[in-house]
Amino acid sequence: MARAMGEDADFEDDQFANMTTDEIIRASCDLDNEIRVLKKNLKKMNLELESYEENIKSNREKIKLSKELPYLIGNIVEILALNPEDEDEQDDASTYLDYQMKRLSVVLKTSTRKTIFLPVVGLVDLHKLKPGDLVAVNKDSFIIMETLPPEYSSRVKAMEVDEKPTEDYNDIGGLEKQIQELVEAIVLPLTHKERFQKIGIRPPKGVLLYGPPGTGKTLMARACAAQTNATFLKLAGPQLIQTLIGAGAKLVCDAFRLAKEKSPCIIFIDEIDAIGTKRFDSGTSGDREVQRTMLELLNQLDGFSTDDSIKVIAATNRADILDPALMRSGRLDRKIEFPHPNEEGRARILQIHSRKMNVHPDVNFEELARSTDDFNGAQL
């Protein structure tokens, strides 16, 4: 290569040596003109580069502003792969065909009850999305701005899963009778299932705990789950009331499906009166949605047998307004009342909660119990 370059240089030297003075001046002028043209093109390209950089900066600011604006919440319904023939305009270039064959689109449902088809997804990696994911979309163009973590989902907010509850019956005071009834209805069917099968007794599927607020219904349910080494799955009744049609029923269905996956499991439905009130003819969509949710709950209660390692505990402070279909035999078979603790129970509760305190030996718990008449466990 060095030899070839040397030969080219020698050739140019010979060429200039054979040129006249006028020819050299003319060649020099041509080179000057070429240099001026190159400098002009370089200046033009620099200006274009600055313009592109300004456009990029402006677009980034617009994207940032779009991401900061309020946006809608949506769920991915389906991910579609578009074929090249689905497009109106075709290009014979193989690269474009390959792109079209790999192109994916999305069908999503927004919180405003709109179902949208997105041929252009947006600012997220589509290959990382899957049906059911929660996403944030622009309220005008509906393009996906970002994916949201699962804790934003109403399904996750409505469920509380504890695989290893730590509560114990020793943490509960004044409810000895209720503890015994729950052991018979929930604990023994899970821990000694063979005894019921041998005798031929069908254990209850569920239990209704009713009584004033703060009397220990949730604590008792968690203690039952801890004694049976079962997963504790808590559902909040008001959270099951959703604005979207069928969303509450799907929450109930998902909860029972999760319970079957994590069996043995105790499903605790707190404030069941939010969805389990007596049915009546109503023209409002909200009441109809509540009734759909309760019908799905009844369907799920009928959908598993007493041999399954799933038990349902429901709690309410308004047992009088519950639908009779919810409390009939085969669903919430057993009903246990949780009243305000009596004097002995209040003294026991005070002793339990003062175990980790530095208490003077002269403290009279019986006298404190007598002076706290009509107090519930939470107040004590």
* Alpha-carbon distances of 70 from 10, 66, 139, 197, rounded to whole Å: 72, 8, 8, 58
Query: Using alpha carbons only, what angle is made at residue 80 by residues 76 and 84, rounded to the nearest 5 degrees?
Result: 150
Q: Which of 167-171, 235-239, 281-285, 329-333 has the lowest mean pLDDT?
A: 281-285
- pLDDT tens across 199-254, in order? 888 888 889 999 998 888 989 999 999 898 998 998 887 777 765 667 778 888 88
3-class secondary structure, 334: strand
Q: Which amino acid is at 28?
A: S
* Alpha-carbon distances of 323 from 36, 315, 318, 319, rounded to whole Å: 92, 14, 11, 9
Q: According to the per-residue pLDDT averaged within each range, which of 2-11, 65-74, 184-193 is highest?
A: 184-193
Residue 11 has pLDDT above 80, yes or no: no
Report which of 282, 284, 293, 285 is spatially closest to residue 326, judged by C-alpha positions.
293
Domains and CATH numbers, the chain: 68-152 (2.40.50.140), 156-337 (3.40.50.300)
Q: How far apart are CA 186 and CA 30, in angstroms?
A: 100
Q: Which of 91-95, 223-227, 292-296 has the lowest mean pLDDT?
A: 91-95
Q: What is the structure's pLDDT at 29?
A: 87
Q: What is the pLDDT confidence band of residue 279, given thresholds at 50, 70 and 90?
A: confident
Q: What is the pLDDT confidence band of residue 96, given thresholds at 50, 70 and 90?
A: very low
Residue 75 has pLDDT above 50, yes or no: yes
**Mean pLDDT score across all residues of the chain:** 80
Task: Give the orientation angle of helix 247-261 with respect to helix 285-303, to 10 degrees.
Answer: 20
Residue 16 has pLDDT above 70, yes or no: no
3-class secondary structure, 253: helix
Residue 2 has pLDDT above 70, yes or no: no
Residue 259 has pLDDT above 80, yes or no: yes
Strand runs labelled E in 225-378: 231-236, 265-270, 310-316, 332-337
Q: Which of 49-58, 262-271, 285-294, 344-353 has the lowest mean pLDDT?
A: 285-294
Residue with tokens 């006028």: 22
Q: What is the pLDDT confidence band of residue 101, given thresholds at 50, 70 and 90?
A: very low
Strands 144-147 and 159-162: unpaired
pTM greater than 0.75: no
Q: What is the largest CA-CA distance in the chain?
A: 127
Residue 90 has pLDDT above 60, yes or no: no
Q: What is the structure's pLDDT at 48?
A: 92
DSSP state of 149: P
Residue 102 has pLDDT above 50, yes or no: yes
Over residues 358-374, the mean pLDDT reads: 79
Q: Which alpha helices (DSSP H) does 78-228 contain, by range?
A: 94-102, 154-158, 176-182, 188-191, 193-199, 217-227
Residue 13 has pLDDT above 70, yes or no: no
Q: Which of 16-20, 169-173, 222-226, 282-286 has the lowest mean pLDDT?
A: 282-286
Beta bridge partners of 75: 109, 134
Q: Please give the order of strands across the beta sheet that includes 104-110.
A: 115-118, 104-110, 72-81, 134-137, 144-147
Q: What is the structure's pLDDT at 86?
A: 47
Residue 268 has pLDDT above 80, yes or no: yes
Task: Supply the DSSP string of 173-195, one letter for each residue.
Answer: -S-HHHHHHHIIIIIHHHH-HHH
Q: Are 100 and 75 in contact (CB under 8 A)?
A: no
- pLDDT tens across 116-143, in order? 888 878 878 877 888 878 888 888 788 8
- 185: Cβ contacts below 8 Å, ≥ 6 apart: 203, 204, 207, 333, 334, 336
Q: Are 203 and 189 in contact (CB under 8 A)?
A: yes
